Every structure is written in C-alpha cells, then in structure tokens.
Structure 1
C-alpha cells in the first residue's frame, strides 16, 4: 500500500490541488493531518482522509479518524489535542487504543518518523511553513508492505529528498 501524507498547508489550496492531481493514481490513500484552513465540503477532499487542526474554523471536520486499509490501521489526527509538542506518549496511547499500526499527525511543522513497538509515527512536516532544523516544505509517501514501512519525504517541487528516506521493519 502507498500512502500520501501532507499537513499544515494553511490556506494554500493550490499546493494540495497539485499534489492530489500528481499522486491520485499513484497512491492508495491520501491523508491530510489538519490545518488546511479550507472548508470541509471543499470538492478537493473527495477521496481524502482529513482531520481538523488548531487553525481550522470549520467545525464539521473530525478530530481524528481511524482507517483500516487492509494492510494497516491508520490513526490520523492533527496532534494539538494529543500534546505532540511535548512528546508522543498520548498519541501512542490513542493509536494503541484503536490498534493502529500507523499514527499520522502534524501540528509541529517539523517532519519526523520513527517506529516504536511496531507502530510507525509520522509527521510529514509542513507543506507551507516548515520549522525546526530542516527548513524544507515537505510531504511524505509511505510504502507499507507485509514486512516493512518505507518512508520517503519530498519537497514542494515533488522531488525526493535523498537524505530523508527511511526503511523500518514491522
């Protein structure tokens, strides 16, 4: 399975249009981790799993979603209500409760991925306003197989960032 993961576009609708058009036929699922600042009924969201972020004003978004892809159970949230700026403990407990194998989140605008107890935690970074030590506007693609998670981060020009490719055993 291939998953496109993006977050924190903060009103930049065009980058999502470009991303979704580029990858719609190449990935099995598209996840948006919140802070889109777009309406929840925007036609752009057709076929996309999306959650609310702390800057989203549309109350019709869900705080979190659990998606069973057949290969994985994905827990999707923005992270502001899970305290992700202070660590992943609360997010881990929420993902564990839903028996998730992948936990996706945004909020910090800092990309990162790790596996803990067989569960992949991934923040795609921000496609508009990156923070932290890697000042690149990013999104991620996860390729999940029976035995591994392969994560590749990309920049806003759709180019893979060679130093940001990771493989984790399941």
Structure 2
C-alpha cells in the first residue's frame, strides 16, 4: 500500500494456484520488485533456524539473513514466524515492492484465507500489519527445489545466529545463487 493510498495485495492468478502449477525453480521477480524467499529448518527440541534471501530482477542478491534459535510448536509456525521476521527486515531495508516466497503450502493457503482463530492466524495478522509499509506486496508458493538458496540459509542458521548481510551472503550461499540465476535465464 502506498502511504495514504489504496491497499494492493496481489494474489496469484487462479491458474497458478492449482496443483502442479507452482514454480519448481527460482523465478526472477518483476522489474522494480524484490523477491524475498523465506524458509525455516526445524531442529531438535522445538528449535528452528530461520533464513531469508532477497534478490532483484537481475538475480543480484540484495540481502540475506539468518536467525537462530527460535522456539516453535510446528513447522508451519516456524515458517510463519520467518515470514513475519522477513517482512520486518524488508521494511528496515527499505524494500517497497516485495514478492515473498515460501515453500510451505499450509502457510500460503492461510495467508490467502487471511483470518481464522489460531496462533498461526495471529502471526499472519501481524504480517498483514506490515503491508502499509510497502507499495506492493504479495506472497507466492514455490516448490522446495525452487527455494534451495534460502533452505541453505535456514539449515545453517545456527552457524550465523542473528546475522544480516547486505548485498552479499555467506560464502556457501554462492553456488545456490549462481544455479538459480542460470536456471531462471530466458530461453
């Protein structure tokens, strides 16, 4: 939403939400947008690591971040907390048009539903509170193999607790980023 303007939450077209139609590889955002992929990796004792990777339409990294440890009740709660944290980071980084991406279908459907009575919907409500800070925002579902760079971040979050990289990431992230850019090239 623009400050003082009308709300613009852009859902995916219905054809893209049918089973088998979700991207199976990383897809570049529209020009002028930032694609911010999120993922959580649940570990032992209800602990999870959160990860975020954001890139522009050229595939260039804008930011990457990790957070560990986060105590969670379930994988979908971990993913929702990651989305909430990533939305907060996006506002702090000054991103205005952001396409968030998750590989958690339950979170994606709950986001589209928008309301309900549960801890999950409480977190989603907190996410919706960030919308006024964006010009445009949407949440898309991407299959796990289209989310490999951020999965690397989430699985390695314990090595970099509470870390944010701007225009870079940890050295182990580079092969995932390079692969994504190559597979997202127009044919």
More relative contact order in 1 or in 2 (CA 8 Å, sep 6+)?
2
Q: Which has the larger radius of gyration?
A: 2
Q: More strand by proportion, 1 or 2? A: 1
Q: Normalized against structure 2, the TM-score is what?
A: 0.30
